[in-house]
Protein backbone atom coordinates (compact mmCIF):
# COMPACT_ATOMS: atom_id res chain seq x y z
CA UNK A 1 0.00 0.00 0.00
CA UNK A 2 1.20 3.50 -0.85
CA UNK A 3 -0.68 6.45 0.61
CA UNK A 4 -2.10 9.06 -1.73
CA UNK A 5 -0.70 12.59 -1.47
CA UNK A 6 -3.90 13.94 0.08
CA UNK A 7 -3.71 11.28 2.83
CA UNK A 8 -0.11 12.19 3.64
CA UNK A 9 -1.01 15.88 3.59
CA UNK A 10 -3.87 15.37 6.04
CA UNK A 11 -1.61 13.44 8.43
CA UNK A 12 0.94 16.24 8.34
CA UNK A 13 -1.71 18.93 8.87
CA UNK A 14 -3.40 17.27 11.87
CA UNK A 15 -0.14 17.22 13.81
CA UNK A 16 -0.31 21.01 14.23
CA UNK A 17 -3.75 22.20 13.07
CA UNK A 18 -7.38 21.27 12.73
CA UNK A 19 -8.11 19.56 9.42
CA UNK A 20 -11.18 19.11 7.24
CA UNK A 21 -10.77 16.32 4.67
CA UNK A 22 -13.20 16.20 1.78
CA UNK A 23 -12.76 13.17 -0.45
CA UNK A 24 -15.06 10.79 -2.34
CA UNK A 25 -16.42 7.67 -0.72
CA UNK A 26 -13.91 4.83 -0.88
CA UNK A 27 -10.87 7.08 -1.24
CA UNK A 28 -9.28 6.31 2.14
CA UNK A 29 -10.54 8.77 4.72
CA UNK A 30 -10.67 6.05 7.38
CA UNK A 31 -7.00 5.29 6.66
CA UNK A 32 -6.23 8.92 7.55
CA UNK A 33 -8.19 8.59 10.80
CA UNK A 34 -6.47 5.34 11.78
CA UNK A 35 -3.02 6.74 11.14
CA UNK A 36 -3.76 10.02 12.91
CA UNK A 37 -4.86 7.96 15.91
CA UNK A 38 -1.70 5.86 15.57
CA UNK A 39 0.45 9.00 15.84
CA UNK A 40 -1.34 10.08 19.02
CA UNK A 41 -1.45 6.56 20.47
CA UNK A 42 2.25 5.90 19.83
CA UNK A 43 3.05 9.11 21.73
CA UNK A 44 1.04 7.87 24.73
CA UNK A 45 -2.06 9.90 23.94
CA UNK A 46 -5.76 9.21 23.69
CA UNK A 47 -8.21 9.64 20.80
CA UNK A 48 -11.96 9.87 20.20
CA UNK A 49 -13.53 8.77 16.90
CA UNK A 50 -17.12 9.97 16.61
CA UNK A 51 -19.63 9.08 13.92
CA UNK A 52 -23.34 9.83 13.61
CA UNK A 53 -24.34 6.21 13.04
CA UNK A 54 -24.23 3.27 15.44
CA UNK A 55 -23.62 0.88 12.54
CA UNK A 56 -20.60 2.90 11.39
CA UNK A 57 -19.32 3.11 14.97
CA UNK A 58 -19.59 -0.68 15.27
CA UNK A 59 -17.78 -1.18 11.97
CA UNK A 60 -14.96 1.20 12.91
CA UNK A 61 -14.71 -0.48 16.32
CA UNK A 62 -14.10 -3.85 14.66
CA UNK A 63 -11.54 -2.34 12.28
CA UNK A 64 -9.63 -0.43 14.96
CA UNK A 65 -9.73 -3.37 17.39
CA UNK A 66 -7.94 -5.37 14.72
CA UNK A 67 -5.38 -2.60 14.24
CA UNK A 68 -4.71 -1.63 17.88
CA UNK A 69 -5.85 -4.63 19.92
CA UNK A 70 -9.07 -5.22 21.87
CA UNK A 71 -7.72 -3.85 25.16
CA UNK A 72 -6.81 -0.52 23.50
CA UNK A 73 -10.19 0.27 21.90
CA UNK A 74 -13.53 0.97 23.53
CA UNK A 75 -16.97 1.70 22.14
CA UNK A 76 -19.70 3.98 23.48
CA UNK A 77 -23.03 4.14 21.68
CA UNK A 78 -26.59 4.15 22.95
CA UNK A 79 -26.56 0.34 22.72
CA UNK A 80 -23.02 -0.57 23.70
CA UNK A 81 -20.58 0.43 26.41
CA UNK A 82 -17.39 -1.60 26.30
CA UNK A 83 -13.94 -0.72 27.61
CA UNK A 84 -14.83 2.95 28.28
CA UNK A 85 -11.39 3.76 29.73
CA UNK A 86 -9.46 2.60 26.66
CA UNK A 87 -7.07 5.09 25.05
CA UNK A 88 -9.03 4.89 21.79
CA UNK A 89 -12.77 5.41 22.01
CA UNK A 90 -15.22 4.91 19.17
CA UNK A 91 -18.70 6.30 19.68
CA UNK A 92 -21.59 8.31 18.42
CA UNK A 93 -21.26 12.05 18.14
CA UNK A 94 -23.95 12.60 20.77
CA UNK A 95 -22.02 10.51 23.29
CA UNK A 96 -18.87 12.57 22.63
CA UNK A 97 -20.85 15.77 23.11
CA UNK A 98 -22.26 14.43 26.39
CA UNK A 99 -18.76 13.54 27.62
CA UNK A 100 -17.60 17.02 26.72
CA UNK A 101 -20.52 18.56 28.64
CA UNK A 102 -19.82 16.33 31.66
CA UNK A 103 -16.16 17.40 31.68
CA UNK A 104 -17.13 21.08 31.43
CA UNK A 105 -19.73 20.71 34.20
CA UNK A 106 -17.14 19.16 36.55
CA UNK A 107 -14.43 21.66 35.60
CA UNK A 108 -12.29 18.91 34.08
CA UNK A 109 -10.49 18.48 30.80
CA UNK A 110 -11.85 16.04 28.25
CA UNK A 111 -9.37 13.19 28.45
CA UNK A 112 -8.39 13.01 24.80
CA UNK A 113 -5.66 14.36 22.54
CA UNK A 114 -7.47 14.07 19.19
CA UNK A 115 -11.09 14.16 18.08
CA UNK A 116 -12.20 12.74 14.75
CA UNK A 117 -15.63 13.73 13.47
CA UNK A 118 -16.61 11.36 10.69
CA UNK A 119 -19.44 12.27 8.33
CA UNK A 120 -18.77 15.92 9.14
CA UNK A 121 -21.43 17.05 6.66
CA UNK A 122 -23.94 16.29 9.43
CA UNK A 123 -22.98 19.75 10.63
CA UNK A 124 -25.63 20.97 8.18
CA UNK A 125 -28.31 18.52 9.33
CA UNK A 126 -31.39 20.36 10.53
CA UNK A 127 -32.02 18.03 13.47
CA UNK A 128 -28.58 16.80 14.52
CA UNK A 129 -26.19 19.46 13.23
CA UNK A 130 -26.27 21.30 16.53
CA UNK A 131 -24.36 18.39 18.12
CA UNK A 132 -21.44 18.93 15.72
CA UNK A 133 -21.59 22.69 16.33
CA UNK A 134 -21.50 22.24 20.11
CA UNK A 135 -18.48 19.93 19.91
CA UNK A 136 -16.63 22.35 17.66
CA UNK A 137 -17.47 25.35 19.82
CA UNK A 138 -16.76 23.84 23.24
CA UNK A 139 -13.89 21.46 22.49
CA UNK A 140 -10.71 22.95 23.99
CA UNK A 141 -8.42 24.35 21.27
CA UNK A 142 -5.56 22.17 22.57
CA UNK A 143 -7.39 19.15 21.10
CA UNK A 144 -7.11 19.00 17.31
CA UNK A 145 -10.18 18.12 15.27
CA UNK A 146 -9.98 15.94 12.18
CA UNK A 147 -13.20 16.13 10.20
CA UNK A 148 -13.98 13.70 7.38
CA UNK A 149 -16.66 13.96 4.70
CA UNK A 150 -17.42 12.98 1.14
CA UNK A 151 -20.13 15.57 0.62
CA UNK A 152 -19.16 18.97 2.02
CA UNK A 153 -19.46 21.61 -0.68
CA UNK A 154 -18.47 24.66 1.39
CA UNK A 155 -15.34 23.32 3.10
CA UNK A 156 -13.57 26.68 2.99
CA UNK A 157 -16.43 28.42 4.80
CA UNK A 158 -16.59 25.74 7.48
CA UNK A 159 -12.83 25.86 8.00
CA UNK A 160 -12.90 29.67 8.28
CA UNK A 161 -15.75 29.52 10.83
CA UNK A 162 -13.98 26.83 12.84
CA UNK A 163 -10.74 28.80 12.78
CA UNK A 164 -12.60 31.89 13.98
CA UNK A 165 -14.28 30.21 16.96
CA UNK A 166 -11.35 27.99 18.00
CA UNK A 167 -8.51 30.44 17.29
CA UNK A 168 -6.65 27.51 15.75
CA UNK A 169 -5.81 27.14 12.08
CA UNK A 170 -8.05 24.77 10.13
CA UNK A 171 -6.67 23.47 6.84
CA UNK A 172 -8.87 21.95 4.14
CA UNK A 173 -7.47 18.91 2.35
CA UNK A 174 -9.44 18.05 -0.77
CA UNK A 175 -9.33 15.06 -3.08
CA UNK A 176 -11.59 14.94 -6.12
CA UNK A 177 -10.43 11.76 -7.80
CA UNK A 178 -13.07 9.07 -7.35
CA UNK A 179 -11.51 5.60 -6.90
CA UNK A 180 -14.91 3.90 -7.12
CA UNK A 181 -16.60 4.91 -10.40
CA UNK A 182 -20.21 5.98 -10.54
CA UNK A 183 -22.43 4.56 -13.27
CA UNK A 184 -25.70 6.39 -13.89
CA UNK A 185 -28.65 4.04 -14.22
CA UNK A 186 -32.27 4.91 -14.84
CA UNK A 187 -35.25 2.84 -13.82
CA UNK A 188 -38.16 3.16 -16.25
CA UNK A 189 -41.64 3.10 -14.65
CA UNK A 190 -42.23 -0.10 -16.57
CA UNK A 191 -39.43 -1.82 -14.65
CA UNK A 192 -36.67 -1.65 -17.29
CA UNK A 193 -33.20 -0.63 -16.15
CA UNK A 194 -31.28 1.64 -18.53
Per-residue confidence (pLDDT) for residue 130, from 0 to 100: 96
Per-residue confidence (pLDDT) for residue 181, from 0 to 100: 76
| pLDDT average, residue stretch 143-169 | 95
CB atoms within 10 A of CB 171: 17
Q: What are the tens digits of pLDDT across the range 81-100?
A: 999 999 999 999 999 999 99
The CA R_g of the chain, rounded to the nearest whole Å, is 17
3's CB contacts (< 8 A; 6+ apart) are 11, 28, 31
Three-state secondary structure readout of the chain? CCCCHHHHHHHHHHCCCEEEEECCCCCCHHHHHHHHHHHHHHCCCCEEEEECCHHHHHHHHHHHHHHHCHHHEEEECCCCEECCCCCEEEEEHHHHHHHHHHHHHCCCCCCCCCEEECCHHHHHCCCCHHHHHHHHHHCCCCCCEEEEECCCCCHHHHHHHHHHHHCCCEEEEECCCCCCCCCCCCECCCCCEC
pTM of the model: 0.91
Closest CA to 48 of 102, 97, 112: 112
Question: In this predicted structure, which of 10-14, 103-107, 130-134, 188-192 has the lowest mean pLDDT?
Answer: 188-192
Could you give the angle at which helices 29-42 and 5-14 cross, rounded to 10 degrees?
40
| pLDDT average, residue stretch 107-125 | 94
Per-residue confidence (pLDDT) for residue 180, from 0 to 100: 73
Query: Using an 8 Å Cβ cutoff, are 57 and 91 in contact?
Result: yes
Per-residue confidence (pLDDT) for residue 186, from 0 to 100: 84
Q: What are the tens digits of pLDDT across the range 164-190?
A: 999 999 999 999 888 777 778 888 888
Amino acid sequence: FEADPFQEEALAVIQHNDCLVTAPTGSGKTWIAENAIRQVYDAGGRAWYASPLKALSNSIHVEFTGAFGPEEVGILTGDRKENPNAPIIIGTTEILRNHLYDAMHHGENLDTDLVILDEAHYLGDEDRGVVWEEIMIYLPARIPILMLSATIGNAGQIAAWLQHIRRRQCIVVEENQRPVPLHPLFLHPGGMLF
